[in-house]
């Protein structure tokens, strides 16, 4: 397929022939907001959208999709810049992720949906629920900080984040280089963020690492984290919407061994229920799929 010009990078339009197979899952592209989003789809019934995080793509849901597809029409898009979606050079604000998903819902003529999101996908779910509560029936967010501080204080939040891989990834040249130079960095990030019981094979991790070796997708990662650290995180620290503004019934599931637990103590509120999975780290859809399914199915059906 021809390359797409994206400023500094020439983004390769990845072929759907390269997508890893999951039984019963079909793949297509949907054009929204000037980009083509790859969508994996399975099942019939009420619409349920699954949103992945970094450094992953739709394949992180492979253990959940077969069961969810018994009850729902499951759509698992790749966010812009990752997986098999287009990777423009600019605009990786999380509000843009939310706008893309809202446009996808409109393109698919979906009035109200249920959501499950992990990491940046979970953050996107919160933004959609806060800005468009009438479009979201119920949602489940997995191991992600809501877009408000809660009990965390700016100094407690900023210091660990700025000293983590996020600051490295946000660096304009060094960040992309950590991904394009080989697979080791992504392997290390996922393993270090997982609970002690999880055993990843290199082949599993390289399904994610290989896609991020594309310069445009590595650049998208840098832009995503740079936008968060320089614009979005300071905005959260200065205040804004809080848990009292959440109108959508939400389940937030955290991993007991997740690095986020060092800086985050999410509190339940009127529409926010919080659960914790023992011995699990950050990558809950792959570390604890059975437990996630049990909690999610119970919450989504109300």
pLDDT at 233: 85
Q: Residue 100 has what pLDDT?
A: 98
pLDDT at 156: 47
Give the Cα separation of 78 and 58 in Å (integer).
6
Domains of the chain by range and CATH? 13-300 (3.40.50.1820)
Tokens in use for 290? 């059975």
141: Cα within 13 Å, side-chain hemisphere: 26
Q: Is the peptide bond before 55 cis (omega within 30 degrees of 0)?
A: yes
Rounded alpha-carbon distances, angstroms, from residue 267 to 176, 243, 272: 35, 9, 8
The answer to whether 241 and 106 have CB atoms below 8 angstroms apart is: no
Q: How far is CA 268 from CA 124, 177, 274, 300, in A?
A: 19, 40, 6, 17
Q: Which two tokens stand for residue 278?
A: 């023992």
Tell me the C-alpha distance between 281 and 191, whole Å: 9
Q: pLDDT value at position 150?
A: 61
Neighbour-count burial of 68, counting CB atoms closer than 10 A to its CB (0-12 exposed, 13-18 middle, 19+ buried): buried
pLDDT at 267: 87
pTM: 0.92
Q: Torsions phi, psi of 59, nearest 5?
A: -65, -15
134-159 tens-digit pLDDT: 999 999 999 999 998 665 544 445 54
Q: Which pLDDT value is given to residue 32?
A: 97
Q: Tens-of-pLDDT digits for all 302 residues of the chain?
A: 333 333 344 455 667 888 999 999 999 999 999 999 999 999 999 999 999 999 999 999 999 999 999 999 999 999 999 999 999 998 999 999 999 999 999 999 999 999 999 999 999 999 999 999 999 999 999 999 999 866 554 444 554 454 578 889 999 899 999 999 999 999 999 999 999 999 999 999 999 999 999 999 999 999 999 999 999 988 877 766 677 899 999 999 999 999 988 778 888 999 999 999 999 999 999 999 999 999 999 999 98
pLDDT at 151: 53
- How far is it, in rounded angstroms, from Cα 61 to Cα 25? 11
């Amino acid at each position: 397929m021809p390359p797409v010009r994206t400023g500094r990078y020439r983004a390769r339009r990845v072929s759907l022939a390269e997508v890893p197979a999951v039984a019963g899952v079909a793949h297509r592209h949907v054009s929204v907001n000037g980009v083509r989003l790859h969508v994996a789809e399975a099942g019939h019934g009420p619409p349920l959208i699954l949103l992945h995080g970094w450094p992953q793509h739709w394949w992180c849901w492979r253990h959940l999709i077969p069961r969810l597809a018994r009850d729902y029409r499951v759509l698992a898009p790749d966010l812009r810049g990752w997986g098999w979606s287009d990777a423009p050079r600019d605009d990786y604000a999380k509000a843009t992720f939310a706008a893309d998903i809202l446009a996808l819902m409109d393109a698919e003529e979906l009035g109200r949906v249920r959501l499950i999101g992990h990491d940046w996908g979970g953050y996107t779910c919160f933004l959609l629920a806060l800005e468009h509560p009438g479009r979201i029936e119920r949602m489940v967010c997995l191991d992600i900080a809501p877009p408000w501080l809660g009990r965390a204080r700016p100094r407690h939040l900023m210091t660990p984040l700025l000293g983590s891989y996020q600051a490295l990834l946000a660096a304009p040249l060094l960040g992309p280089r950590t991904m394009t130079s080989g697979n080791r960095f992504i392997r290390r990030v996922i393993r270090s963020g997982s609970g002690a019981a999880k055993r990843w094979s290199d082949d599993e991790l390289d399904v994610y690492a290989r896609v991020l070796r594309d310069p445009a997708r590595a650049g998208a990662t840098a832009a995503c984290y740079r936008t968060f650290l320089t614009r979005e995180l300071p905005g959260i620290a200065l205040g804004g919407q809080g848990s009292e503004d959440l109108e959508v019934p939400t389940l937030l599931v955290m991993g007991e061994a997740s690095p986020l637990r060092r800086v985050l103590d999410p509190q339940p509120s009127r529409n926010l229920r919080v659960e914790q999975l023992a011995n699990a780290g950050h990558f809950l859809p792959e570390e604890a799929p059975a437990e996630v399914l049990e909690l999610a199915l119970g919450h989504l059906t109300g």
